[in-house]
Amino acid sequence: MKPAPFRYHRARDVHGTTQLLAELGEDAKVIAGGQSLVAMMNFRLARPRHLVDIGALRELDHLGVGPDGALRIGALTTHHTVETAPDEVLGTGFAVLRRAMGWIGHLPIRARGTVGGSIAHADATAEWCLLAVALGARLRVAGPGGQRLLPAEGFFLGPYTSVLEPDELLTEIVFPRPAPHAALTEFAERKGDFALVSAVVDLDIGAGRVRGGRVGLGGVAPVPVRVPAAEAVLAGGGSFAECAAVAAAAVDPPDDAGGSTAYRRQLVRALVERACTEAAEATERREAGRR
Amino acid sequence: MTTHPRPPDAADADALALQAPELQLMVLDVNGERHEVITEPRRTLVDVLRHELRLTGTHVGCEHGICGACTVLVDDRPVRACLMFAAQAEGARIRTVESLSAGSCGRPDELGDLQRAFRERHALQCGFCTPGFLMLAEGFLAERPDADREQIREVVAANLCRCTGYQPIVEAIEQCAAARRAARSDVRKEK
């Protein structure tokens, strides 16, 4: 199908964008890469009367590690840019993000889709939403009155819903600390499809032993979640299999056409254990330079 | 007494567009040529390529980014032309399947090397998906000229083909990549 008519606005800078969004109100949508929004507009599931294109805001297309060791990703950075980022850009301890990109759609989707767009879209199974929650990212948001920095946990309110106000723009995603022993894995019926269940594990490894870690899951709740019970198993010296079993018992996944609750629990168990193993095996040197 | 039916509210926007569609001037760089197009902002890139510029080599299939028939290059990267408004493509270099054959061997109708590889390997049957596969492969090989068979298999998963079973497509892309590598090393030897 073809999208409904709309008025097209091209943003010139961040401040102007938020001012324009404030003027236009609820009838406006921001478009970045458009890999979710244009499909929804073609189906007329979304019918914004105004479209604000931020594609020209080059100041939002950046990627690099600051002096504080945090990785800063501009909202307009594409998945493909992260996927192909050399070590000197991505910094030490963030290769998990590069490896995770292969799970997002296909090459042409990753070439257009943006990190900020994915997070602002707030799909409960999106890889970036899960990575942000599991790895404790902070999200910089600009509004007409200034900017705020929000923890990713708490940013998502439900499927396709976040705390972003209609006049606000997500400008930057900050991963505050390296995650050298982390992995994302997921299951989808077909390669490149939306994940049925996805898992991120970020292990704290010291002196060759697992001392704790973070476990995050997508596709088991309306938003990506962390699983404290499973993290407690890791902190207590439990095995990866125990951690996975506890994670599966702790969640209450939806029962729908994609899969039953029981099936999704099985997936949680398999994927958490797999992510734990991959996270433990992840070392920065082995994959230097290439995905 | 005569009553006049009122159109339902939901159709307001469409009714408005039919009366006075909002038009916009767009300047697009397609296959190295500058085009000025006056059209509605809701036109996707694939629709503008086909309907305004009459470059009908790019096909349009599912219109929601699944099938890949509309794949073109935007700033050298393969993208879905149905998931992009033409207005977003202003300032970018767009390449369509027409660019593969145009003038590469001096004759406008001569097929490019990737197209010849598809023909030799029988990498198409009905041909509907072919322009999308060609541009996907063209963009991929430009970035990864040394791609191996496994990487090619992974990348062609982006597009749907319901005739070939993919095997000949993988072989064609692999053959073209190998020929290009050989040509490059010949050039190096001559120097």
ipTM, 2 dp: 0.92
Domains and CATH numbers, chain A: 7-53 (3.30.43.10), 58-175 (3.30.465.10), 182-281 (3.30.390.50)
| pTM, two decimal places | 0.92
Q: Is the pLDDT of residue B1 over 50?
A: no
Structural domain includes residue B121: yes
* pLDDT over 90, % of chain B: 80
User: Helices B167-190 and B149-156 meet at what angle, rounded to 10?
Assistant: 130
A10 vs chain B: nearest CA distance in angstroms?
A: 9
Give a yes or no: residue B8 inside a domain.
Answer: no
Q: In the block, which residue shows the tokens 């469409």? A: B14
| Chain segment A43-62, per-residue pLDDT in tens | 999 999 999 999 999 999 99
Report yes or no: B68 at the A interface, CB cutoff 8 Å: yes
- Residue B141 burial (CB count, 10 A): 20
The answer to whether position B67 is within a domain reads: yes
Q: Which residues of B touch A49 (CB under 8 A)?
A: 13
* Confidence at residue B11, expressed as pLDDT on a 0 to 100 scale: 53
For the cut 60, the answer to whether the pLDDT of residue B7 exceeds it is no
pLDDT digits (tens, 9 = 90+) for B40-62: 999 999 999 999 999 999 999 99
Residue A291: predicted pLDDT: 35
Q: Is the pLDDT of residue A191 over 60?
A: yes
Domain annotation covers residue B105: yes
DSSP 8-state assignment for residue A105: S
A82, A283 contact by CB (below 8 A): no
Instruction: For residue range B49-98, list pLDDT tens digits in order.
Output: 999 999 999 999 999 999 999 999 999 999 999 999 999 999 999 999 99
Number of domains in chain B: 1
Specify the pLDDT at position A91: 87
Chain A nearest CA to B44, separation (Å): 8
**Contact (CB<8Å) B42/A2:** yes
Q: Would the CB atoms of B71 and A108 count as touching at under 8 Å? A: yes
All residues of chain A having their beta carbon less than 8 Å from the beta carbon of residue B42 are 2-6, 41
Within-domain flag for B52: yes
CATH of the domain at B122: 3.10.20.30
Domain extent at residue B60: 24-190
Q: pLDDT band for position A177 (50/70/90)?
A: very high
Give pLDDT tens digits for A236-253: 999 999 999 999 999 999
How close, in Å, is residue B1 to chain A by CA atoms? 35
> Is residue B139 situated within a structural domain?
yes
Band (pLDDT 50/70/90 cuts) for residue A229 is: very high
Q: Give the pLDDT of residue B72.
A: 98
**Inter-chain touch A42–B63, beta carbons under 8 Å:** yes
CA atoms within 13 A on the CB side of B10: 4
DSSP A168-189: -EEEEEEE-S--TTEEEEEE-S
User: How far, in Å, CA of A71 to CA of A90, rounded?
Assistant: 7
Contacts of residue A41 in chain B, CB cutoff 8 Å?
A: 42
Strand partners, B27: B36
Strands A28-31 and A50-53: parallel
Average pLDDT (A191-206) is 95
